[in-house]
Amino acid sequence: MNNCLFCKIIAGDIPSTKVYEDEKVYAFRDINPQAPTHVLVIPKQHVTGMSGIDEADDATLAACLRACKKVAELEGLTENGFRVVSNCGDHACQSVHHLHFHVLGGHQLTENMA
């Protein structure tokens, strides 16, 4: 999508620090990390967010969640644990309207989810 920040990152038009990539997914470090490890996992196909998905996106979603686990392994998070978050819409403060999963870890995360 033309004006989408994350589509530009996938295309290489905006620089990013790659952590993982496969046919369907790209993962890179968040520019404003909220934890020692903060990686964004995004589908290469543009999807606006959780509210924009349907059955046609099942394979994309599965690839994203598998990639979250892969990122956690690559970043050494699986032993102590990690969190996966996807913000959707205004109340969740979604700021980039391309589906993404935050993979957070590397220290004790708080119990407060909201």
Residues annotated catalytic, as ranges: 100
Indicate whether 113 belongs to the interface with ligand AMP (CB under 6 A): no
Indicate whether 30 belongs to the interface with ligand AMP (CB under 6 A): yes
Q: Give dist(CA 86, CA 74) in Å, integer.
A: 20
Which residue in 94, 99, 104, 105 binds ligand AMP (CB under 6 A)? Answer: 94
Q: Nearest approach, Cβ of 87 to ligand AMP (angstroms)?
A: 4
> Smaller CB distance to ligand AMP: residue 60 or 87?
87
Indicate whether 1 belongs to the interface with ligand AMP (CB under 6 A): no
65-74's contacts with Cβ under 8 Å and 24+ in sequence apart are 65/101, 67/20, 67/22, 67/25, 67/27, 67/41, 68/41, 68/101, 68/103, 70/20, 70/27, 71/19, 71/20, 71/27, 71/39, 71/41, 71/103, 72/103, 72/105, 74/19, 74/20
> How big is the site for ligand AMP, counted in residues (CB under 6 A)?
12
Which residue in 2, 12, 13, 95 binds ligand AMP (CB under 6 A)? Answer: 95
Q: Which spans of this chain sit near ligand AMP (rule: CB under 6 A)?
A: 5, 14, 16, 30-32, 40, 87, 93-96
